Amino acid sequence: MDDTVAQKIVVEKNSPRGTHFRRAGPRQKVYFESEEVHACIVTCGGLCPGLNTVIREIVCGLYHMYGVHKVLGIEGGYRGFYARNTIPLTPKVVNDIHKRGGTILGTSRGGQDTSKIVDSIQDRGINQVYIIGGDGTQKGASVIFEEIRRRGLKVAVAGIPKTIDNDIPIIDKSFGFDTAVEEAQRAISAGHIESESFENGIGLVKLMGRYSGFIAMYATLASRDVDCCLIPESPFYLEGPGGLFEFIEKRLKENGHMVIVIAEGAGQELVSESLRTTDQQDASGNKLLQDVGLCISQKIKDHFKRKKMVINLKYIDPTYMIRAVPSNASDNVYCTLLAQSVIHGTMAGYTGFIGGPVNGRHAYIPFHRVLVEKQNKVVITDRMWARLLSSTHQPSFMDHKDVMEDDTEKVGQTLQVNGKSHLGTTTAKARDTESIEEPSKPI
């Protein structure tokens, strides 16, 4: 299979066609013989619906499609390579794990000692490594891949991108996202019922989304009960004309109740300076965030107390409930496609890549491309955010200048063509220029 998948299918006039990736799928020839394959699977980072499904489908795919019988599960994330036991994985062992949330292998953040990990891979005779995790995990996978290549080992390293926030670049979406949006409906529904049942009731629901507001946006659109959605990409202010407080008061006077959805990364600048932890990070290098939901809840209460207006605010935080559930039907199918795609790639001898859908077609994306791209974020000048504003009837909380600056930043992003950066405004001749990003081979 020599088909390629374009990173961008909608391009502006006279702009480059851009980058293509090798399409995923089975090849006519395989690099590894079935009996010589010794594979391992590791899960890292936070929980996400579908982790067990991906594990199951890698094991079953290797066993049933390629006759591979030696698969190890690495317990406890990256440090499990050298600090924990391993679990032999067979189709019988993983038969019904897709019905459970979490990961049967356990997980952790950080703890990566590249030299020790590769030593363990070498000592155990492992020649296929499947790494399931988010952007931090895939950065680690890239380092492991480079160390394996430096040592000249014939080991294939493949990543399965995982983030419930849906913020991994290039791919259409990450597994677990659909389940998270579906599960978020329960929390929004509870907030709606609570707000309807009390005088001037406000249901405030905090959803996951450290740097991107996809869960909040899609859950809001799916619910149709939400009056205001606040995400990191769209700054908002509280006081004064056009502020959040004014909108809340207006909506309460109109309807007698309202529901607000806020992503965890939104409004961090509004958290009191004494509470902010701007320089603190977790083991994965993510900035530690304060609970913006609690902060905004208190500020809303204080504001209406000063105005002597009675409100009844209920704050709901379903974060860990959402990410700990089993994956739904849509995500189960998606996890199967992801697992089988990376299996076909590693068996063909590709290495140093992640698998994922690009414009609806699964492709092999080299690690280095994922690392240099910006995180996937909601673009507030795009149509989906406009649809949300139409649904909630909320103001944008931004002036025209702010919106245009966001749009300019989007248009001004550079395009990678044949390994070089080109601005979005290029000559017509450059339009026919394209590059194919190939995953690496073990040798």
Give DSSP secondary structure letters for 182-247: HHHHHHHHHHHHHHHTSTTEEEEEEE--SS--HHHHHHHHHHS--SEEE-TTS----SSTTSHHHH
**Which parts of 268-395 fold into alpha helices (H)?**
292-306, 319-323, 329-347, 367-372, 383-392
Asked if the domains at 4-174+327-372 and 177-323 fall in one CATH topology, the answer is yes
Radius of gyration of the chain (CA): 24
Q: Which of 2, 113, 119, 165 is catalytic?
A: 165
Binding site for substrate: residue ranges?
A: 163-165, 208-210, 264, 320-323
Residues 177-323, CATH architecture: 3-Layer(aba) Sandwich (3.40)
Distance linking the first and last C-alpha atoms of the chain: 20
At 255 the pLDDT is 96
Bridge partners for 61 per DSSP: none
Residue 44 contacts residue 111 (beta carbons within 8 Å)? no
Tokens 């160390």 locate to: 147
β-pairing verdict for 86-88 and 71-74 = antiparallel
Backbone angles phi, psi at 232, to 5 degrees: -60, -30
Q: In Å, how far are 39, 146, 292 from 138, measured between CA atoms?
A: 18, 12, 28
Which residues are known binding-site members?
46, 109-110, 134-137, 163-165, 208-210, 264, 320-323
CA atoms of 120 and 23, how far apart (whole Å): 31
Whole-angstrom distance, CA of residue 193 vs CA of residue 195: 6
In sequence order, the β-bridge partners of residue 40 are: 72, 129
Residues of the binding site for Mg(2+): 135
CATH node for 4-174+327-372:
3.40.50.450
Listed as ranges, residues in the chain with pLDDT below 50 are: 274, 400, 409-433
Give the contacts of 32 (CB within 8 A, at least 6 positions apart): 127, 128, 156, 346, 347, 349
The string of DSSP letters for 100-154 reads SSS-TT---S----HHHHHHHHHHHT--EEEEEE-HHHHHHHHHHHHHHHHHT--
Which pLDDT score, from 0 to 100, does residue 401 have? Answer: 53
Helices (H) and strands (E) counted in the chain, each on its own, are 13, 16
pTM: 0.86
The 8-class DSSP code of residue 172 comes to S
- Give the whole-angstrom CA distance, residue 330 versus residue 104: 21
Does 165 qualify as catalytic in the annotation? yes
Residue 45 and residue 349: Cα distance in Å, rounded?
27
Q: Give the residue extent of every domain in the chain.
A: 4-174+327-372, 177-323
- Please state the residue numbers annotated as binding site for ATP: 46, 109-110, 134-137
